[in-house]
A and B are shown apart, each in its own frame.
Chain A
């Protein structure tokens, strides 16, 4: 297994290099660049930009060089100095921008994820065990709704309800007075209050998905011979349920766990824009829109890396959870 893992890790390197090339190429594809974007934005604000101004700015930022040259400079700085470039929009190094948003992004993502698993797994088990009961129909219906409703629409609806009921749409993650305040109990409570809508909205479709998967898997597992045997030997129902079918049913959920790594670090995008959440998603979106290419490039690269890593982690986790897979490894 160790050899296999090593092999997989080595394979990651060419994949990431390949992705970085594609990423850089794609960012360059749309017409215009950061400078034309910036000039357009500033002329809306009433500033005058001449062609010379823009050319000078391009030369300063190195945007007048050929694409491959820009790419190699970027990669060289990453490898040699660990410098991921400079964000034009923020006038800051890319890493500083990412760092600024990382804390809250992780908070929102992890809470959302915890919400998903804590809600979905028990409901999934319940729906399987009490198949075709009223409860099953209720939760199944709800999960279909959750899967079908677009996030941002849900966000808008919840914000509207919050505004009509409480007079506050609960935008952002903090009330105005706490944004720059020191961490305190009151600030935590304020954060918790503002997290309700994002967590429900972002978590909903994932939850719905998980409920379906969990229910399906459980139904498969519930009538397996090992379960019947266990029951015949007189084990308590509860013990049987958690010892055998649940454990086996978690299998596909664990195998997809690694994939959620990217979403943990980026957070959602459209929902975050609608809810005005200060997390990575919208930052990334604006970087792409404004052709802030090093920020966007670093982000895409980072996400690619996380996806590759996530798959790796999933494989290892699976091997650890499921003895059958372990054996297969040994066999080959």
Chain B
């Protein structure tokens, strides 16, 4: 027993050293590999750790199936020797077995099992600066970025043992993506734009041989691989499965009959679920480390290891280490906390609001809390709809002095202490350091608490008249009030504070809570004057929607987005700096080099800095990962971003449970 304890301590020390190595070094790949080789012999010298014996090449549960004859041997299941993907482990070689237990709210929560198990053609590297091959083995690109040849892994197989080849890519492209069978329009990634005319052209995809295919763009598409990684994520589908259900191939009537057999009412929903949300359906083969095993509508959703998974650890052990993912259905988010405290869930993620309760129970619950930074501009803030219907209000919201006053009149120190437990910094909404578009000093812009200056600004705008309650009126004598809309009461303590500060300045403030769907409807009908939503984006060129007015839904740009998305038929025509943002965006789409794209992205961000349409009162807070102390290989110092597939960026296939 004592010996084990000593070993555990040793482990901790070693992993700290290893983690230290990764921290100090900014190029993660080689350094973690170096940490690896330094670290492993050290462990081995101390004698066997945990499993003790020479590591098996495959999980015991699969070895059993092989010897029983119901599964081909490992060598036949893995891709060709040189095409196997070796996944670097974070701290050490793991042990087989165990279950990742987590909470989910049911099939609607599909992304919380989807993202960690996702296998994209190309995935983002650890610091998110670019993509690396994942399902693809490698790629070649010509000089002006119009031709991409992508190579696949020879001998790689779907989870049902059928070979994965370029035909699966071609099938997806020809019969699903371009036919838009699964409810998504053809992704922007597949279009290239002529820098001169703005003409959009769809790429062509051709098969080169069984294990490579070619994507040809009419115009340069520098970010093609990144865009695919974000827009489409995967670029393939199991042809042998979809051949049996697509109406185009089996006929409309037969497809409907199959859909009914699956319990669906119509083929549209059926194809969307099977073509897009395929990972929760046990019938559909995937390339993921774990595949669905039972009906996701049950109380417990189970994903089991994929015997044909195509990655191994550096020692040649087939991944994943853990046998299963078990997602238990919960009705209320607090049950995730409770389950984690009780040890029922061994790896879950939480928002910063649960920091205190998690930290207090870390010892008792035998877990640890790992914070991952979010690329958020702020966690608490306000967006003023620049195109709000009321002409008086619109004029006011578009007045930069008004936004400055709202920013200065709020005590950020108090807000961060009360509403974020002091976790967030009292700063302005701005791009966090380390991301494209970071601007020195932006975080402090209008961030000081200066009610006198705020009031002076409001007076200067002309809001000098007051009503009997001492609230400011518009110069024409009409009532002035800001209505802040939100879809949940979770941030009530923050919005109440905000109301107090605004009303101290004489700005009447109403808080209105409506449900999610209503808020969505209100946004489309331009009925949301102000919202406390925040911006979280890694790189504007990857995901422009929240910073560039391209559609409805982000409150600050209101109807400008509708104007763009409807091609000028509806909405409000963007002018001034907003129009400039759109100009830059058009240039990004047609840009010829990565440097050019980064420069233009920075320009867009600078316009945001100048205008501060999005006012922030508290800096970003981390996402918290609560992991059982038994679970190893979970990286620290990572970025939590949807673009990087959240927890998926940690490569959960190499997480393991110390037995």
- Using CB atoms and an 8 Å cutoff, list the residues of chain A in contact with chain B: 30-33, 36-37, 39-41, 43-46, 48, 50-53, 56-57, 60-61, 86, 88-93, 96-97, 100, 159, 163, 167-169, 171-172, 174, 176, 179-180, 272-274, 276, 278, 282, 289, 291
Contacts and interface: CB of A to CB of B under 8 A. Distances in A.
A45 B515 CA distance: 17
Q: Which 3 A-B pairs have the closest CB atoms?
A: A32-B517, A37-B517, A46-B642
23 contacts: A30-B517, A31-B521, A32-B520, A32-B521, A36-B517, A36-B520, A39-B520, A40-B516, A41-B108, A43-B553, A45-B642, A51-B552, A53-B183, A61-B269, A88-B269, A91-B107, A91-B273, A169-B341, A171-B330, A171-B342, A176-B101, A180-B300, A278-B329
Given A92-B297, A93-B263, A176 B518 contact: no
Interface string B102-145: 00000110010000000000000000000000000000000000
Given A50-B565, A179-B299, A163 B516 contact: no
B294 interface: yes
A289 B183 contact: no
Contacts of A51: 524, 551-552, 565
Given A60-B266, A172-B328, A163 B338 contact: yes
B244 interface: no
Given A51-B565, A176-B328, 6 more contacts: A32-B520, A43-B520, A53-B184, A57-B183, A180-B294, A278-B329
A94 to B, nearest CB: 10
Contacts of A96: 263
A231 B338 CA distance: 58
Contact of A169 (B302, B342, B545): B342
Nearest to B524: A51
B297 A90 contact: yes
A37 B329 contact: no
A43 B555 CA distance: 14
A46 B538 CA distance: 13
B335 interface: yes
B332 A273 contact: yes
Nearest to B328: A176
Contacts of A168: 342
Interface of B: 101, 107-108, 111, 183-185, 263-266, 268-269, 273, 294, 297-300, 302, 326, 328-332, 335, 338-339, 341-344, 487, 515-522, 524, 545, 551-553, 565, 642
B486 to A, nearest CB: 13
A61 B266 CA distance: 8
A32 B263 contact: no
Contacts of B328: 172, 176, 179
A37 to B, nearest CB: 4
Given A163-B342, A171-B335, A179-B328, A40 B299 contact: no
A56 B342 CA distance: 45
B342 to A, nearest CB: 5
B330 A276 contact: yes
B183 to A, nearest CB: 7
Nearest to B552: A51
B363 to A, nearest CB: 13
Contacts, number: 123
A22 to B, nearest CB: 22
A278 B106 CA distance: 12
A53 B622 CA distance: 33
Nearest to B105: A286
A193 B257 CA distance: 44
B517 A176 contact: no
A171 B339 contact: yes
A290 B395 CA distance: 37
Contacts of B344: 171, 176
Contacts of B342: 163, 167-169, 171
Nearest to B266: A60
B626 to A, nearest CB: 16
A37 B516 CA distance: 6
A171 B521 CA distance: 36
A196 to B, nearest CB: 16
Contacts of A171: 330, 335, 338-339, 342, 344
A272 to B, nearest CB: 7
Given A91-B263, A169-B342, A273-B331, A40 B551 contact: no
A32 B524 CA distance: 11
Contacts of B269: 60-61, 88, 91
Contacts of A53: 183-185
Nearest to B551: A50
B341 A48 contact: no
A276 B335 contact: yes
Contacts of A282: 331
Given A100-B297, A176-B101, A176-B326, A89 B108 contact: yes
A107 to B, nearest CB: 14
Interface hub of B184, B265, B297, B339 (most chain A Cβ within 10 A):
B265
